[in-house]
Structure 1
Amino acid sequence: MDIIICGAGEVGRHAAEVLVARDNSITIIDTDRARLAQVGDTLDVRTLAGDCSQARVLLEAGAASADLVLATTSKDDVNLITASVAKGLGTRKAIARVHQSDYFEGRDFNYEKHFSIDRLICPEYSTAVAIGQTLRNPGALAIENFARGQIEMQQIPVSREADALGIPLAQLRLPKGTRLAAVVRKQGAFVPAADTVVEPGDSVVLVGDPAHFPVARRMFHDDKFGRRRVVIMGGPPMAVWLCRALKNRNISIRLFETNRQRAQELARELDWVTVLQADPTDRTVFEDERIGDADAFVALAHDEENILGCLLAKSAGVRQAVAVVEQSKYLHVLKRLGIDKPFSPRAVAVREIERAIDERPLTQLASLAEGEVDVYRVRIKAASEVVGLPLREVKLSPNWMLAAIQRNGAIHVPGAQDVIQVGDTLLVVGRHGKEEALRKVLDLR
């Protein structure tokens, strides 16, 4: 592929490293000639000095015939303009990185559609979603990048006194927006049918939207633990997204922010969170606020502060410490230091880019139940014979089930009446080794 990367910062450089290794032709644009020289010395790429938001510069880089333009500078407005202009010049696909929630969430205005950009990515948001899933349930399955936090999937052990025991699935009143995707039994894993009855000792793979998922989970697993306590250090936008992801999850949150004005803003916006203007790495604050009693400590400030905060938390007995680091040089040492889970927005951004340019109709996202069950992302093209069919007429059973549909940026758990449309992306769960059968059923050419 002919790819143009606009911005030679952390994300741009890392994206170039990954994409060059896959035999793509890369051109990098940046206004900083010294930065370009450094990239050119270490990677087999073409470099171009200039303002990437200008049509003249993009044309010189080859945007008129490029397969992909990645706008990854540190400025949202530049990225939006760059991606939009590239599309206007003829680029086949354009992706823009943004930081501000207004651009990414599109509550009042669809920037992606307005600027004719194929995809907006926000690494900070995706990182917050991933952290939230880790804190809510360490066993949560890694589909957050498919679902952007709109769908949860977990493999849950069935409790001995679970309400769902002994009831056929057809009679089990699961909340709307949730589905039982698979049952894992000693004899093996399988996709449940209408007459399937969950037994003691089973595990189930449950899929659902965040609002109804906890209710469905309690039907299979009686959580005996009490309210979890989470401490967050730092108040960037990522902290807001993380607090939203943890809301109504039987989790108490204390957020520490040293800047007075920002702390006041967060207190107004997050009325379910206890916001304190203080530095939790200060020994007196740490002891007075009994931070060592927390179940989890999440550091979202600057790299060195995050590492220090997590080390302090772990030394005080906090069970789970999560650090976000921007600089890749820290990632390989954090585990050795005892920090449980490092997250890198830069690495998240590159994974999102890789998924965005992956045009295969069928991609495996995860493997469950010791490899007996697979989770796939399926893209539906116009040529597929299932387009226009309601799900009840698509012969997925007994090997597969449709867990979720992504359409126009929104994701939902479907019912039997839902109709598959051109451009849909499906989340399909089913038995391992049946990939070719799935291709035939969904007519993936």
Structure 2
Amino acid sequence: MKIIIAGAGEVGFHLAKLLSYESQEITLIDPDKERIAYADAHLDIRVVRGDATSISILKEARVGICDLFIAVTSSETTNITVSALAKQLGAKQTIARISNTEFIHHKEELGFDRFGVDELISPEALAAAEIELSLKQSSFNDTYEFESGALTMVGLTLSRSALFVGKSVKEAAEIFPELHFVPIAMQRFGTQFTIIPRGDTKFERGDNVVFITSEGGAEELCRLTGKVNREIKNVMILGGSQIGYKAARDLCKKKFNLKLVEQNKEHAFYIADLLPDVLVVHGDGRNVDLLDEENISDMDAYIAVTENSETNIMSCLVAKSKGVKKTIALVENMDYFELSQSVGIDTLINKKLLAANNIFRYIRKGEVVAMTKLSNLNAELLEFEVKSSSAVCNKLIKNIDFPRSAIVGGVIRDGVGMIALGNFKIQEGDRVVVCCLLQSIKRVEKLFL
């Protein structure tokens, strides 16, 4: 695909980096000389220095023949404008990054597609939604919902108390035949290799395992692994950034008891006016005495979403030391993922990764409805809609020529999620969730064309 990205900031650069790995034809536009020079030196892509709102710059980037135009500058006005321009100049599909989530909620009413913007994304809103889901599934490290929870992906580290440690997948299935979950990916303790589990794959203590669960499966998984899915009610948020504000606003609607700590006095008063049901504390969240004064040990969850990754990580570790059961940290540096999870932070959120996941489904072949990359694992989770022409249609799963590095996690039929094993027959209209290693994605895509 020919893809143009306007904006070489954190999200734009990360997208260009990931898409270049996919052997896509990428052009990156940005007016900043240093950003463009850095991207040109570190990525195998074409760069164009200039303002993306310039018609001549768009034409220099060959917008007329591009398949996908992605506008992810820091200005939502610029993103909407250049997406509309790109569409008029011949771009087949356009995506604009926005910060005002009202645009997303009223997308159909406002008719963005009529003036050239096909899709809107907000990394901040995606992060706030990820926080809410993580609190709902409090005992798991990673979570992702398909079709509003018809199927849910959950990740956890197996402890000694897990009842199926030491058993193979097949043995566990025979002992617990009525369960509503299935393992789809795992990483052995101390290794970097991702395994797609088969019947003879053994569960070992310390494994980082990703499961797909249907309704009731998360509770069963908690029971068998010794985890406790505690109800979370009292939440402290560090940082009144866009993510902190959006998370506080959304959690308020779900009747959580919230405290928000913001260092900037003027901004703290501003948030307090906007969110009267949130207790806003002006102070430095890195100050342990302040956290003690605000009874951090009484909190069920602690969410650190300042603009500084190191502050978020360290404050979450302080919260853990004070007995907080669930900690969530926003991190910008992808290299921190493995490090911070190994020292005890429950859930890590990265805006760039969330935005990339949301955009990647537009470059995948087949009817991809949703997708996510698994944190720390070299694998993707894709939801395909089955067409009558798809190679998998009207076939039993065991008779489909799936690569060994891919596995069907579940199927959603008429809005109901089901764990699909070998004798399950896939039908037209089904939504099939597949986990696959990166090297097998192209083969899997062909099955759903």
TM-score w.r.t. structure 2 length? 0.67
Cα distance per residue 1:36-73 (max 9 Å; x no partner): 11111111111111111222211111110111111111
Tell me the secondary structure at the aligned position of residue 125 of structure 1: helix
Question: Partners of 1:33 and 1:288 in 2: how far apart?
Answer: 47
Residue 377 of structure 1, aligned match among 362, 365, 383: 383
Residue 255 of structure 1, aligned match among 245, 260, 284: 260
Q: CA deviation at 1:27?
A: 1.1
Partner of 1:48: 48
Residue 236 of structure 2, aligned match among 231, 240, 243: 231
Cα distance per residue 1:125-146 (max 9 Å; x no partner): 11111121111214498444x5
Cα distance per residue 1:55-93 (max 9 Å; x no partner): 221111111011111111111111111111111111111
Partner of 1:319: 325
Change (3 A) 1:441 1:351: closer
Question: Partners of 1:261 and 1:150 in 2: how far apart?
Answer: 39
- Whichever residue aligns with residue 100 of structure 1, its letter is N
Q: CA deviation at 1:376?
A: 6.7
Question: Partners of 1:226 and 1:14 in 2: how far apart?
Answer: 35
User: What aligned pairs does 1:20-419 form with structure 2 within 5 A after superposition?
Assistant: 20-106=20-106, 110=110, 112-137=112-137, 138-139=139-140, 142-144=143-145, 153=152, 188=177, 228-247=233-252, 251-303=256-308, 304-361=310-367, 377-379=383-385, 403=412
- Whichever residue aligns with residue 340 of structure 1, its letter is D
CA contact (8 A) 2:150 2:214 kept: no
Question: Partners of 2:35 and 2:338 in 1: how far apart?
Answer: 24
Change (3 A) 1:400 1:9: closer
- Whichever residue aligns with residue 30 of structure 2, its letter is D
Question: Partners of 1:122 and 1:360 in 2: how far apart?
Answer: 25
CA contact (8 A) 1:154 1:206 kept: no
The total of aligned residue pairs comes to 363
Please, which moves more after superposition, 331-340 or 100-109?
100-109
Partner of 2:187: none
CA contact (8 A) 2:151 2:213 kept: no
- Whichever residue aligns with residue 345 of structure 2, its letter is I
Tell me the secondary structure at the aligned position of residue 335 of structure 1: helix
Question: Percent identity at matched positions?
Answer: 29
Q: CA deviation at 1:295?
A: 2.1
Question: Partners of 2:231 and 2:143 in 1: how far apart?
Answer: 25
Question: Partners of 1:13 and 1:354 in 2: how far apart?
Answer: 14
Question: Partners of 2:66 and 2:229 in 1: how far apart?
Answer: 55
Tell me the secondary structure at the aligned position of residue 328 of structure 1: coil
- Whichever residue aligns with residue 93 of structure 1, its letter is Q
Question: Partners of 2:242 and 2:114 in 1: how far apart?
Answer: 24
Tell me the secondary structure at the aligned position of residue 362 of structure 2: helix
Tell me the secondary structure at the aligned position of residue 29 of structure 1: strand
Answering whether residue 17 of structure 2 is matched by residue 11 of structure 1, we say no
Change (3 A) 1:376 1:343: closer
Tell me the secondary structure at the aligned position of residue 259 of structure 2: strand
Change (3 A) 1:60 1:380: farther
Change (3 A) 1:224 1:324: closer
Change (3 A) 1:395 1:21: closer
Q: CA deviation at 1:323?
A: 1.1
Cα distance per residue 1:336-364 (max 9 Å; x no partner): 44323221101111111112322412679
Tell me the secondary structure at the aligned position of residue 14 of structure 1: helix
Cα distance per residue 1:165-211 (max 9 Å; x no partner): xxxxxxxxxxxxxxxxxxx99563589xxxxxxxxxxxx95569xxx
Structure 1 unaligned runs (5+)? 156-183, 192-203, 209-222, 367-374, 385-393, 406-412, 415-427
Please, which moves more after superposition, 8-17 or 253-262?
253-262
RMSD across aligned positions (CA): 4.5
Q: CA deviation at 1:440?
A: 4.9
Q: CA deviation at 1:296?
A: 1.6
Question: Partners of 1:260 and 1:81 in 2: how far apart?
Answer: 34
Question: Partners of 1:12 and 1:377 in 2: how far apart?
Answer: 24
Please, which moves more after superposition, 275-284 or 125-134?
275-284
CA contact (8 A) 1:96 1:120 kept: yes
- Whichever residue aligns with residue 50 of structure 2, its letter is G
Structure 2 unaligned runs (5+)? 155-172, 181-211, 217-227, 373-380, 397-407, 431-446
- Whichever residue aligns with residue 420 of structure 2, its letter is R
CA contact (8 A) 1:190 1:430 kept: no
Q: CA deviation at 1:324?
A: 0.5
Cα distance per residue 1:302-347 (max 9 Å; x no partner): 2133233223222323222211122335444323443232211011
Answering whether residue 426 of structure 2 is matched by residue 438 of structure 1, we say yes
Tell me the secondary structure at the aligned position of residue 357 of structure 1: coil
Change (3 A) 1:152 1:272: farther
Question: Partners of 1:140 and 1:310 in 2: how far apart?
Answer: 14
TM-score w.r.t. structure 1 length? 0.67
Please, which moves more after superposition, 300-309 or 55-64?
300-309
Question: Partners of 1:404 and 1:76 in 2: how far apart?
Answer: 37
